[in-house]
Amino acid sequence: MTHRVRVFSLAATLVLLVFGAAGLHAGDTEDEIQRYREMINDPMANPAFLNVDRGEALWKLARGEKNVSLETCDLGKGPGILDGAYAELPRYFADSDSVMDLEQRLLWCMTTIQALDTKEIVARKFSTPGTTSDMEDLVAYIANKSSGMTFHIPLDDVQEQNAYAVGEELFYRRGSLLDFSCATCHSADSARIRTTQLPNLTKPGKDATETMGSWPTYRVSQSQMRTMQNRLWDCYRQMRMPPPEYGSAGLTALMIYLAKQADGGTLNVPSIKR
């Protein structure tokens, strides 16, 4: 628990910086955004490191019917190996015979290794001002173990290739009351919604690597650390779709499609953003 002291005053500074920027013209806003992107690199300035600390404790906590910790959970690189694991997810797991992202995999390990009832944990999948989320905390801790590393998504398993194909189709799937698909908002270079820059996620390159390399992230506008599951849930909200099921195969398919576009990009997580 090393980071706590300095986090809070700097969080306040960030709130001012970010919301102060909201009313400015697009060009100025980008300068501000650049400034706080630089602050991300200072772990002392990022409240998500509280999640990292809590996540570490949860990883080592014995619980569930079997009263054991998650430390033997295999995230793809062997039981208990965390370094670099997040940079290779989602991936195929032979034991579950399916492609899983980190959050699905953690639920799987909780169920199979700890015999933990995950209902209550899933109910807290997204933190609120009054409740923490074990999932967000664990993701912060585990993703941080890949910070500085590069995405490696070789798609060398046929199920991974399948998930990618499904993810790509889902990305272009239009529907609901406003006819949106992900591509509506994320298939043009340097397009904006209002003053918000939208990443083009249909191809490899800077947009994809900067986007995927920055999740999980502390979202200043929500005062919470958020994972990719939450980001996609939020985008489906904008698409006027019902809330997608946490940890569903469709979300994992989208994630492997997005992660593949970011292949070779560097992770810098947990980051901090708007």
Partner 1 sequence: MSPQSSANRGSPMRTLTLCAALFIAGAMNAVAHDTGEHHDEGAQRSGAGDPSITEPYVQEMWRNAEATWKVRLKQDETQASCSRFRNAPPDDVAEKILAREASTVVLPKDGQVLGKWQDGEKVAQSGRGGQFSDNADTVNGGNCYACHQMAKSELSFGTLGPSLSEYGKLRNFSAEAARDTFAKIYNPQATVACSNMPRFGAHAFLTEQQIKDVVAYLFDPDSPVNK
Nearer to partner 1, 116 or 232 (CB): 232
Q: Where in 44-83 is the site for partner 1 (CB under 8 A)?
A: none
Nearer to partner 1, 2 or 111 (CB): 111
Q: Which of 33, 39, 165, 235 binds partner 1 (CB under 8 A)?
A: 165
The answer to the question of residue 129 lying near partner 1 (CB under 8 A) is no
The answer to the question of residue 222 lying near partner 1 (CB under 8 A) is no
Q: Which entry of partner 1, ligand HEC, none binds 127, CB below 5 to 8 A by partner kind?
A: none
Residues at the contact surface with ligand HEC, assessed by CB under 6 A = 171, 180, 182, 184-186, 193, 196, 198-199, 201, 211, 214, 231-232, 235-236, 238-239, 254, 258, 274
Residue pair 143/216 in contact by the 8 Å Cβ criterion: yes
Q: How far is the CB of 238 from partner 1 (least distance, A)?
A: 7
The answer to the question of residue 178 lying near partner 1 (CB under 8 A) is yes
Nearer to ligand HEC, 112 or 147 (CB): 147
Q: Which entry of partner 1, ligand HEC, none binds 172, CB below 5 to 8 A by partner kind?
A: partner 1
Q: Is 235 a catalytic residue?
A: yes
Number of residues this chain uses to bind partner 1 (CB under 8 A): 54
Phi and psi angles of residue 259, each rounded to the nearest 5 degrees, phi first = -65, -35
Q: Which of 112, 150, 159, 222 binds partner 1 (CB under 8 A)?
A: 159
DSSP the chain: --SHHHHHHHHHHHHHHHHHHHTS-HHHHHHHHHHHHHHHT-GGG-THHHHHHHHHHHHH--BTTTTB-STT-BSSSSBT--TTTGGG-SEEETTTTEEE-HHHHHHHHIIIII----HHHHHTSS-BTTB--HHHHHHHHHHHTTTT-B------SHHHHHHHHHHHHHHH--BTTTTB-HHHHHSSTTEEETTEEE---SSSSHHHHHHHTT-SEEETTTTEEE-HHHHHHHHHHHTTPPPPPTT-HHHHHHHHHHHHHTTTPBP--SEEE-
Site for partner 1, rule CB under 8 A: 25-26, 97-98, 155, 158-159, 161-162, 164-166, 168-170, 172-181, 183-185, 187-188, 190-196, 198, 202-203, 237-238, 240-245, 248-251, 253, 260
- The catalytic residue positions are 235
